[in-house]
């Protein structure tokens, strides 16, 4: 079997978890290879995500590495035998690998938490807002249109039959930056309130008066995996977006998110009676900005 040259984030993560377990068990690459009747080169490829491992072989590795049967064991087995195919395959002609990796992570996450200091998160964007953002960076109109379709398709995670719990902390600056036009922004802010009505969606605004903490933290997304230890952080950057499953960094960003959420305004609750908005909350601020447009 030839080694793949561009493993997906799921394949890389599985390999990294297997390497971590092997080293924790004190086994060499040669010893691990012997469990599969293979050499250490095969183990190296598996741990880099460049090769798959058969189901019975993975079972032997996990048992030999001392991984007890349970959520982590099952999660790793599922990661190995998930073929990674989904609606995102329809966009192979234009979506770079990191975008498809992002869609795959979103589709499999148990919970998504996002902090966004600059723009409305992609999962909450209207088609018009998304087009204004994407076309500013993508001059080719045909490609921009396809990228917009890809972004809108990602939103099925929130609106499908089995929606994923989603918690967004959005800086006030993201609500005030004029993207496209005043009409586009009004429609976008209305959409934000509409999505916040969904029982599995939580939207909070981090106001200017809470200080600069939001700006310091930058944008990031926390994906809760199928088992403890399989969480991932995604950093959305213009040139080199990246994922990390490093436990210490994941815990650090989880703490950052909790601090952001605790300092942000109360979540949008469109069902609350008007008198409950005497003190400023997220809904009140969004409506105030929308009426000022």
Over 80: is that where the pLDDT of 174 sits?
Answer: yes
**Domain annotation covers residue 3:** no
**Residues 142, 36 within the same domain:** no
178 vs 268, more confident? 178
Instruction: Pick the closest to residue 187 from 120, 270, 126, 118 (CA basis).
Output: 126
Beta-carbon count within 10 A of 147 CB: 22
**Residues 189, 264 within the same domain:** yes
Cα 47 to Cα 41, 61, 151, 158, 183, distances in angstroms: 10, 12, 31, 33, 50
Q: Report the distance separating Cα 189 and Cα 146, nearest Å.
A: 24
Last residue of a domain, one of 60, 81, 102: 81
Burial state string for 81-91 with b = 16 or more CB within 10 A and e = fewer than 16? eeebeeebeeb
Residue 261 has what pLDDT? 97
Q: Please, what is the average pLDDT of the chain? A: 90
**Residues 124, 72 within the same domain:** no
Mean pLDDT of 105-115: 95
**Domain annotation covers residue 1:** no
Over 90: is that where the pLDDT of 111 sits?
Answer: yes
Residue 272 has what pLDDT? 66
**Residues 129, 239 within the same domain:** yes
Residue 98 has what pLDDT? 87
The number of residues in the chain equals 293
Instruction: Give bridge partners of residue 171 from the DSSP assignment.
Output: 206
Residue 275 has what pLDDT? 53
**Domain annotation covers residue 268:** yes
- Report pLDDT digits (tens) over 192-243: 999 999 999 999 999 999 999 888 899 999 999 988 899 999 998 777 779 9
**Residues 249, 177 within the same domain:** yes
- Report pLDDT digits (tens) over 118-153: 999 999 999 999 999 999 888 777 888 999 999 999
**Residues 75, 198 within the same domain:** no
**Residues 56, 141 within the same domain:** no
**Residues 93, 19 within the same domain:** no
**Domain annotation covers residue 2:** no
Residue 139 has what pLDDT? 74
**Domain annotation covers residue 184:** yes
**Domain annotation covers residue 101:** yes
**Residues 280, 213 within the same domain:** yes
Q: Which domain holds residue 37?
A: 9-81
CATH number at residue 283: 3.30.870.10
**Residues 54, 130 within the same domain:** no
Spatial neighbors of 265 by CB under 8 A, at least 6 apart, are: 204, 205, 206, 207, 280, 281, 282, 284, 285
What is the number of domains present in the chain? 2
**Residues 65, 98 within the same domain:** no
Last residue of a domain, one of 61, 81, 101: 81
**Domain annotation covers residue 242:** yes
Tell me what percent of the residues of the chain surpass a pLDDT of 70: 95
Over 60: is that where the pLDDT of 155 sits?
Answer: yes
Residue 137 has what pLDDT? 82
Over 90: is that where the pLDDT of 267 sits?
Answer: yes
168 vs 81, more confident? 168
Sign of CA pseudo-dihedral 4, 9, 12, 15: negative
Task: Check if the beta carbon of residue 171 is closer than 8 Å to that of residue 215.
Answer: yes
**Residues 222, 258 within the same domain:** yes
CATH number at residue 73: 1.10.260.40
């Amino acid at each position: 079997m030839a080694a793949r040259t561009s493993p997906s984030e799921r394949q890389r993560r599985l390999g990294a978890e297997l390497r971590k377990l092997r080293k924790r068990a004190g086994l060499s690459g040669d010893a691990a290879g012997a469990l599969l009747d293979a050499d250490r080169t095969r183990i190296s490829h598996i741990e880099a995500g460049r090769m798959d491992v058969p189901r019975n072989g993975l079972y032997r590795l996990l048992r030999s590495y001392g991984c007890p049967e349970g959520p982590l064991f099952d999660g790793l087995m599922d990661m190995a035998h998930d073929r990674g195919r989904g609606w995102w395959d329809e966009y192979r002609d234009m979506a770079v690998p990191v975008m498809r990796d992002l869609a795959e992570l979103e589709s499999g996450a148990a919970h998504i938490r996002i902090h966004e200091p600059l723009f409305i998160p992609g999962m909450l964007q209207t088609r018009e807002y998304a087009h204004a953002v994407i076309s500013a960076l993508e001059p080719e109109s045909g490609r921009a249109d396809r990228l917009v379709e890809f972004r809108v398709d990602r939103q099925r995670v929130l609106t499908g039959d089995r929606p994923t719990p989603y918690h967004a902390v959005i800086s006030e600056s993201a609500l005030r930056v004029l993207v496209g036009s005043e009409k586009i922004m009004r429609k976008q802010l209305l959409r934000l309130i509409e999505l916040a009505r969904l029982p599995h969606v939580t939207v909070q605004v981090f106001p200017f008066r809470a200080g600069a903490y939001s700006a310091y933290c930058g944008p990031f997304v926390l994906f809760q995996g199928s088992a403890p230890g399989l969480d991932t952080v995604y950093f959305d950057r213009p040139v080199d977006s990246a994922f990390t499953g490093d436990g210490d960094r994941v815990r650090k960003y989880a703490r950052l998110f909790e601090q952001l959420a605790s300092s942000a305004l109360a979540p949008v609750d469109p069902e609350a009676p008007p008198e409950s908005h005497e003190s400023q909350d997220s809904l009140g601020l969004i409506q105030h900005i929308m009426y000022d447009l």
